[in-house]
Amino acid sequence: MSDDIDIRVEGAAGRITLNRPAALNALTYRMCLEIEAALDAWSDDDAVKLLLIDAVGERAFCAGGDIQEMYDTGTAGDFDYGRRFWADEYRMNAKLFGFPKPVVTFLQGFTMGGGVGVGCHGSHRIVGDTSQIAMPECGIGLVPDVGGTLLLARAPGRLGEYLGVTAARMGPGDAIHAEFADYYVPEAKWDALKAALIESGDWDAVDRAAETAPDSPLRDAQPVLDYLFSGETLRDVITDLRHSDSDTARQAEKLIARNAPLAMACAIELVHRARGSDDILIALRNEYRFTARSMEHGDFLEGIRAAIIDKDRAPKWRHAGPLDVAGVDVANMLRPLGADEWKPQGRAEP
C-alpha cells in the first residue's frame, strides 16, 4: 500500500483514508486501484459491516484527480496512459456506486471532480460547514465524469445542467438540496461519529448525529435556473441566458465564459442521456467516450496548460465561443468507440 492512502479494517468498519493533504488529497492512479482492491476484498467479508471513507487535512476531502502524468504523457503524444487511468478509475467508481454495504463518507473542504467519484457515490454522504462540492471539469476542457453526469441528472429540475456547465460550487445546504450529499453534521462531531461507527457498525448512528442543514441558495434560485437551463443544447441555454434580464443569468454567463465550449456542449448532452437511462454503467460509458478523445480531439491538454502548468488562465479553446459548437462536434466526441468502448470488467493490479 502506498503512503498516499490508508486502507484497513477497524472494528466493524472497512476504512479508506486519503492521505495527500499537501496535494488536497488528489487521486493518483495507484490510489484508484487500491480503493478498488479494497472494495473487492470487503464486499463479501462479513466482518466488515460498513465502509468509512475520509481524508487527512482540513482543506479538502479530495479536490480531484492527479492529472500531471496525464498532461506529461498526452503532450508527448501518448494518449493511452490517460485512457487507461480513466477506464480503471471509472470501474472503481462503478463498484463504489454498487457496493452492497453502507458507505459513509465525510466530505470536508473541497470535494471536486475525481473526489466526487469517491465521496458522492456512497449511501451516507456527510457534509459540514467547510464543505465545497463541485464538478469543475469544463474549466479544463473535460466533462463531468466519474459518474458525475448521473449525479447531475438526478439533481432536482435543471440544476444538473447548471452545475455541470458553470462548475458552480455548492456549500453544505446546496449539496444536500442537489442530492450530492445526504446529511449535515457539524465537523466538531465527526470524530465521535466515526468512533461510534467503527465500534458498532450501526449506520443509523449517522441519522442520530445529523442536524438541520444550512440554507440552500440553489433552492431559492431553482425556479429561475430551471427555466434558463431547460434548453436541449448549449446554444439554447446561451440564448435563454442572453434574453434574460435576471442577475442569476448574468452570473451564470460569467461562470460559463471561463469554460471550454466543446466540453460544455457535451456536458449538457451527457446529462440528458444520463437522465434518460438512470444507469451508472451507461453514464460512465458515455463519459469515457468523451474523455478517451479529450486529449487528441478536445481541449483537455490546453485546459491543463492554462490552469495548472503555465497558470496564465488564458486557454485557447478549439471553439471561439459557446455558439460556435456545432451539433456534429458533439456527436463526434460522444459517438461509440467500437472495440475501445469502456467496459466495467477487469482490474489492474495495484
**CB-facing half-sphere around the CA of 18: CA atoms within 13 A:** 35
Tens digits of residue pLDDT in 233-292: 999 999 999 999 999 999 999 999 999 999 999 999 999 999 999 999 999 999 999 999
Q: What does pTM read for this prediction?
A: 0.96
Phi, psi at 19, each rounded to 5° = -135, 55
Report d(CA 288, CA 90) in Å as an integer.
8
Give the single-character DSSP code of 214: P
- Hey, CA dihedral for 245, 251, 255, 257, is it positive or negative? positive
Spatial separation of the C-alpha atoms in residues 152 and 149, rounded to whole Å: 5
CATH number among 1.10.10.410, 3.40.50.300, 3.90.226.10, 3.40.50.720, domain 5-340:
3.90.226.10
The set of cell numbers assigned to 59 is 482543506
DSSP state, 324? G
pLDDT in tens, 36-92: 999 999 999 999 999 999 999 999 999 999 888 899 999 999 999 999 999 999 999
Do 280 and 94 touch, CB atoms closer than 8 A? Answer: yes
Helix (H, G, I), strand (E, B) or coil at 150: helix
Q: Where are the domains of the chain?
A: 5-340
